[in-house]
Amino acid sequence: MEPWWQQPVSRRQFILRVGWGLVYGSLLSWAMATLRYMFPNVLYEPSAVFKAGLPGEYEVGTVTTKWVREQRTWIIRNSQGIYALWARCTHLGCTPNWFDTERRFKCPCHGSNFNIDGDVIAGPAPKPLFRAAVSLAEDGQLQIDKAQLENRPGKREGGTFFLPYKSA
């Protein structure tokens, strides 16, 4: 007797085998999808909140680039207080550079220019840079929250996006 795979197959048997194969295949794919649904789809990202040191460590009139590599944030202190700019160009998302001699941020990708407040001076960027929420933590350090962003003039100067701070 010949093995089953060498026996001739009629047209009816072929169609039945293909049909049952499709039924079992769809049941298997349904079971796999149901099993996959049971496991959460979690994206583990670093926290958007970080501590940036004591407010007295920042000099008046300077842009601190210390946090650009780690947190993609500049911290600026003027005579009224402290704010943090998210280092992401509003044109295509590149990281602009701070040029202290020209007192402006310049995007290396397409040439957008922003002033120290984050407003667009030149280039294709359609909106100002975003400010991140700034607050004082319980231990007295600056706490920057990049999950809360604002770039509308008038709203970004107050509330949680600007921390009034006068040195003693």
pLDDT tens track for 34-65: 999 999 888 887 888 999 989 888 888 889 88
pLDDT by 10s per residue, the chain, length 168: 788 788 888 999 999 999 999 999 999 999 999 999 999 888 887 888 999 989 888 888 889 889 889 899 999 998 889 999 999 998 888 999 999 899 999 999 888 999 998 899 988 988 999 999 999 999 989 999 998 998 888 888 878 888 887 765
Helix residue ranges, H only, the chain? 11-37, 68-71
Position of tokens 């922003």? 114
pTM: 0.71
Q: How far is CA 20 from CA 4, 7, 28, 31, in A?
A: 17, 19, 12, 16
Report how far residue 85's alpha carbon sits from residue 13's, in angstroms, rounded to the nearest whole number: 70
